[in-house]
Amino acid sequence: MIEIIPAIDIIEGKCVRLSQGDYSQKKIYNEHPLEVAKQFEDYGITRLHMVDLDGAKSNRIINYKILEQVATHTQLIIDFGGGLKSDKDLEIAFNSGAHMITGGSIAVKNPDIFSSWILLYGANKIILGADVKDEKIAVSGWQESTSLSLFDFLQNYTAKGITKTICTDISKDGMMQGPSIELYKRMKQEFPQLYVIASGGVSNMQDIIDLQKAGIDAVITGKAIYEGAITLQELSRFILQ
Protein backbone atom coordinates (compact mmCIF):
# COMPACT_ATOMS: atom_id res chain seq x y z
CA MET A 1 0.00 0.00 0.00
CA ILE A 2 1.37 3.39 -0.98
CA GLU A 3 1.90 5.78 1.94
CA ILE A 4 -0.20 8.98 1.71
CA ILE A 5 1.58 12.12 2.93
CA PRO A 6 -0.37 15.40 2.80
CA ALA A 7 1.67 18.59 2.61
CA ILE A 8 1.41 21.77 4.61
CA ASP A 9 3.49 24.65 3.23
CA ILE A 10 3.97 27.60 5.55
CA ILE A 11 4.42 31.30 4.78
CA GLU A 12 4.06 33.80 7.66
CA GLY A 13 2.51 31.08 9.80
CA LYS A 14 -0.26 30.36 7.27
CA CYS A 15 -1.01 27.27 5.19
CA VAL A 16 -0.36 28.15 1.53
CA ARG A 17 0.40 26.56 -1.84
CA LEU A 18 2.59 27.85 -4.63
CA SER A 19 2.53 26.88 -8.31
CA GLN A 20 5.88 25.60 -9.64
CA GLY A 21 7.62 27.10 -6.62
CA ASP A 22 6.67 30.67 -7.63
CA TYR A 23 6.26 32.81 -4.49
CA SER A 24 4.26 35.37 -6.49
CA GLN A 25 1.65 32.65 -7.20
CA LYS A 26 0.81 32.14 -3.55
CA LYS A 27 -2.64 31.08 -2.40
CA ILE A 28 -3.57 31.04 1.29
CA TYR A 29 -5.77 28.07 2.20
CA ASN A 30 -5.94 28.38 5.96
CA GLU A 31 -4.65 30.88 8.52
CA HIS A 32 -4.19 28.05 11.04
CA PRO A 33 -2.06 25.08 9.91
CA LEU A 34 -2.90 23.20 13.12
CA GLU A 35 -6.58 23.05 12.07
CA VAL A 36 -5.53 21.53 8.75
CA ALA A 37 -3.24 18.98 10.43
CA LYS A 38 -5.98 17.95 12.87
CA GLN A 39 -8.38 17.41 9.96
CA PHE A 40 -5.85 15.12 8.29
CA GLU A 41 -5.48 13.15 11.50
CA ASP A 42 -9.26 12.87 11.93
CA TYR A 43 -9.39 11.02 8.60
CA GLY A 44 -6.79 8.42 9.56
CA ILE A 45 -3.73 10.07 8.05
CA THR A 46 -0.57 9.44 10.08
CA ARG A 47 2.11 11.32 8.12
CA LEU A 48 2.71 14.96 7.28
CA HIS A 49 5.19 16.78 5.05
CA MET A 50 5.70 20.33 6.33
CA VAL A 51 7.69 22.92 4.41
CA ASP A 52 8.90 26.22 5.83
CA LEU A 53 8.77 28.38 2.69
CA ASP A 54 9.95 31.45 4.62
CA GLY A 55 12.87 29.34 5.79
CA ALA A 56 13.65 28.20 2.24
CA LYS A 57 13.97 31.87 1.23
CA SER A 58 15.92 32.92 4.34
CA ASN A 59 18.31 29.95 4.50
CA ARG A 60 17.42 29.27 8.12
CA ILE A 61 14.50 27.77 10.01
CA ILE A 62 11.69 30.32 10.56
CA ASN A 63 8.32 28.65 11.21
CA TYR A 64 9.40 26.20 13.91
CA LYS A 65 6.64 27.42 16.27
CA ILE A 66 4.04 26.08 13.80
CA LEU A 67 5.91 22.76 13.71
CA GLU A 68 5.87 22.71 17.51
CA GLN A 69 2.10 23.39 17.62
CA VAL A 70 1.30 20.58 15.18
CA ALA A 71 3.72 18.13 16.82
CA THR A 72 2.32 18.92 20.29
CA HIS A 73 -1.37 18.73 19.39
CA THR A 74 -1.40 15.79 16.96
CA GLN A 75 0.19 12.34 16.72
CA LEU A 76 1.26 12.93 13.10
CA ILE A 77 4.71 11.77 12.05
CA ILE A 78 6.16 14.95 10.56
CA ASP A 79 9.00 15.44 8.16
CA PHE A 80 10.07 19.07 8.05
CA GLY A 81 12.06 20.94 5.41
CA GLY A 82 12.79 24.38 4.06
CA GLY A 83 15.91 26.39 4.83
CA LEU A 84 17.63 23.86 7.08
CA LYS A 85 21.26 24.87 6.60
CA SER A 86 23.07 24.44 9.93
CA ASP A 87 23.42 22.02 12.82
CA LYS A 88 21.49 24.56 14.89
CA ASP A 89 18.57 24.53 12.39
CA LEU A 90 18.38 20.75 12.70
CA GLU A 91 18.51 20.91 16.47
CA ILE A 92 15.60 23.39 16.47
CA ALA A 93 13.58 21.24 14.04
CA PHE A 94 14.01 18.04 16.07
CA ASN A 95 13.45 19.85 19.38
CA SER A 96 10.25 21.34 17.92
CA GLY A 97 8.88 17.87 17.18
CA ALA A 98 10.03 16.88 13.68
CA HIS A 99 10.49 13.12 13.36
CA MET A 100 12.50 13.56 10.16
CA ILE A 101 13.98 16.43 8.21
CA THR A 102 14.25 16.88 4.46
CA GLY A 103 17.37 18.48 3.02
CA GLY A 104 17.66 19.44 -0.64
CA SER A 105 19.70 22.56 -1.37
CA ILE A 106 22.07 21.80 1.50
CA ALA A 107 22.78 18.35 0.02
CA VAL A 108 23.94 20.07 -3.19
CA LYS A 109 25.66 23.17 -1.81
CA ASN A 110 27.19 21.77 1.35
CA PRO A 111 27.45 17.99 0.95
CA ASP A 112 29.88 17.70 3.88
CA ILE A 113 27.39 19.03 6.41
CA PHE A 114 24.50 17.01 4.93
CA SER A 115 26.59 13.83 4.98
CA SER A 116 27.49 14.54 8.62
CA TRP A 117 23.76 14.68 9.46
CA ILE A 118 23.23 11.22 7.95
CA LEU A 119 25.98 9.90 10.20
CA LEU A 120 24.83 11.81 13.28
CA TYR A 121 21.05 11.22 13.11
CA GLY A 122 20.81 8.10 10.95
CA ALA A 123 19.18 7.58 7.55
CA ASN A 124 15.73 7.03 9.12
CA LYS A 125 15.76 10.69 10.25
CA ILE A 126 17.26 12.36 7.16
CA ILE A 127 15.35 12.45 3.86
CA LEU A 128 17.09 13.56 0.67
CA GLY A 129 15.13 16.25 -1.17
CA ALA A 130 15.61 15.81 -4.91
CA ASP A 131 13.83 18.62 -6.73
CA VAL A 132 14.19 18.27 -10.48
CA LYS A 133 13.57 20.15 -13.69
CA ASP A 134 14.32 18.18 -16.87
CA GLU A 135 15.98 15.57 -14.62
CA LYS A 136 18.48 18.15 -13.32
CA ILE A 137 18.57 19.10 -9.65
CA ALA A 138 17.23 22.56 -8.69
CA VAL A 139 17.98 24.34 -5.41
CA SER A 140 17.14 27.37 -3.26
CA GLY A 141 13.39 26.99 -3.30
CA TRP A 142 13.68 26.04 -6.99
CA GLN A 143 14.96 29.49 -7.87
CA GLU A 144 18.25 28.05 -9.12
CA SER A 145 18.95 25.24 -11.61
CA THR A 146 22.10 23.10 -11.59
CA SER A 147 23.73 20.81 -14.14
CA LEU A 148 23.65 17.92 -11.64
CA SER A 149 21.80 14.85 -12.91
CA LEU A 150 19.13 13.38 -10.63
CA PHE A 151 20.53 9.87 -11.03
CA ASP A 152 24.11 10.90 -10.20
CA PHE A 153 22.79 12.78 -7.17
CA LEU A 154 20.91 9.70 -5.94
CA GLN A 155 23.89 7.44 -6.62
CA ASN A 156 26.12 9.68 -4.54
CA TYR A 157 23.82 9.79 -1.52
CA THR A 158 22.63 6.18 -1.52
CA ALA A 159 26.35 5.33 -1.31
CA LYS A 160 26.47 7.55 1.79
CA GLY A 161 23.56 5.72 3.40
CA ILE A 162 20.45 7.66 2.34
CA THR A 163 17.40 5.37 2.20
CA LYS A 164 14.54 7.84 1.53
CA THR A 165 14.09 10.56 -1.05
CA ILE A 166 11.33 13.03 -1.87
CA CYS A 167 11.48 13.70 -5.59
CA THR A 168 9.52 16.68 -6.87
CA ASP A 169 9.19 17.36 -10.57
CA ILE A 170 9.01 21.16 -10.49
CA SER A 171 7.28 21.37 -13.87
CA LYS A 172 4.38 19.40 -12.39
CA ASP A 173 4.16 20.95 -8.93
CA GLY A 174 0.89 22.70 -8.16
CA MET A 175 -0.26 22.25 -11.77
CA MET A 176 -2.55 19.26 -11.03
CA GLN A 177 -1.76 17.66 -14.40
CA GLY A 178 -0.58 14.29 -13.13
CA PRO A 179 2.74 13.13 -11.63
CA SER A 180 5.93 12.03 -13.44
CA ILE A 181 5.22 8.31 -13.10
CA GLU A 182 7.81 7.20 -15.67
CA LEU A 183 10.55 9.12 -13.87
CA TYR A 184 9.65 7.52 -10.52
CA LYS A 185 9.55 4.05 -12.11
CA ARG A 186 13.08 4.56 -13.45
CA MET A 187 14.23 5.68 -10.01
CA LYS A 188 12.82 2.49 -8.46
CA GLN A 189 14.45 0.36 -11.18
CA GLU A 190 17.87 1.94 -10.66
CA PHE A 191 17.62 2.15 -6.86
CA PRO A 192 15.29 -0.66 -5.75
CA GLN A 193 16.19 -0.25 -2.07
CA LEU A 194 15.42 3.49 -2.07
CA TYR A 195 12.11 4.58 -0.51
CA VAL A 196 10.80 6.86 -3.26
CA ILE A 197 8.32 9.56 -2.24
CA ALA A 198 6.66 11.10 -5.31
CA SER A 199 5.74 14.76 -5.13
CA GLY A 200 4.15 17.17 -7.59
CA GLY A 201 1.28 16.97 -10.03
CA VAL A 202 -1.16 14.71 -8.16
CA SER A 203 -4.60 15.79 -9.35
CA ASN A 204 -7.00 12.99 -8.34
CA MET A 205 -7.23 9.57 -6.68
CA GLN A 206 -6.41 7.83 -9.97
CA ASP A 207 -2.95 9.43 -9.92
CA ILE A 208 -2.35 7.91 -6.48
CA ILE A 209 -3.62 4.50 -7.65
CA ASP A 210 -1.34 4.70 -10.72
CA LEU A 211 1.67 5.52 -8.54
CA GLN A 212 0.83 2.58 -6.32
CA LYS A 213 0.56 0.26 -9.35
CA ALA A 214 3.97 1.53 -10.50
CA GLY A 215 5.47 0.37 -7.21
CA ILE A 216 6.16 3.82 -5.78
CA ASP A 217 6.47 3.79 -1.98
CA ALA A 218 4.76 7.04 -0.99
CA VAL A 219 3.10 10.13 -2.42
CA ILE A 220 2.88 13.72 -1.23
CA THR A 221 -0.28 15.58 -2.16
CA GLY A 222 -1.17 19.16 -1.34
CA LYS A 223 -3.05 21.30 -3.81
CA ALA A 224 -5.40 18.50 -4.93
CA ILE A 225 -6.66 18.23 -1.33
CA TYR A 226 -6.93 21.99 -0.81
CA GLU A 227 -8.75 22.50 -4.11
CA GLY A 228 -11.17 19.63 -3.37
CA ALA A 229 -10.02 17.44 -6.30
CA ILE A 230 -9.21 14.75 -3.70
CA THR A 231 -11.39 14.60 -0.60
CA LEU A 232 -10.23 13.46 2.81
CA GLN A 233 -13.08 10.91 2.70
CA GLU A 234 -11.59 9.37 -0.45
CA LEU A 235 -8.12 9.29 1.10
CA SER A 236 -9.53 7.75 4.26
CA ARG A 237 -11.28 4.96 2.32
CA PHE A 238 -8.11 4.33 0.34
CA ILE A 239 -5.96 4.11 3.49
CA LEU A 240 -8.40 1.70 5.14
CA GLN A 241 -8.56 -0.70 2.15
Tell me, what's the pLDDT at 22? 78
Q: Determine whether 9 is an active site residue.
A: yes
Tell me, what's the pLDDT at 230? 97
Q: What is the pLDDT of residues 171-212, one digit of tens each?
A: 776 666 799 999 999 999 999 999 999 999 999 999 999 999
Q: Which of 54, 79, 131, 173 is catalytic?
A: 131
- Residue 55 near residue 84 (C-beta atoms within 8 A): yes
Delineate the domains of the chain, giving CATH numbers in brackets: 3-240 (3.20.20.70)
Q: Determine whether 131 is an active site residue.
A: yes
Q: Is the pLDDT of residue 144 over 80?
A: no
Tell me, what's the pLDDT at 87? 97
Residues 168 and 24: their CA atoms lie apart, in Å, by: 19
Q: In 3-state terms, what secondary structure has residue 241? A: coil
Question: Sign of torsion, CA 70 2 105 227?
Answer: negative
Tell me, what's the pLDDT at 18? 80
Tell me, what's the pLDDT at 233? 97
Q: What is the pLDDT of residues 47-100, one digit of tens each?
A: 999 999 999 889 999 999 999 999 999 999 999 999 899 999 999 999 999 999
Q: Which of 9, 52, 79, 173 is catalytic?
A: 9
Q: Is the pLDDT of residue 140 over 70?
A: no
pTM listed for this prediction:
0.95
Tell me, what's the pLDDT at 188? 98
User: SS3 helix, strand, coil % of the chain, rounded to 5?
Assistant: 40, 30, 30
Q: What is the pLDDT of residues 21-38, one digit of tens each?
A: 778 888 999 999 999 999
Q: Which whole-number Å values give the CA distances from 107 to 24, 56, 83, 223, 229, in the listed order?
A: 26, 14, 12, 26, 33
Tell me, what's the pLDDT at 173? 65
Residues 205 and 233: their CA atoms lie apart, in Å, by: 11
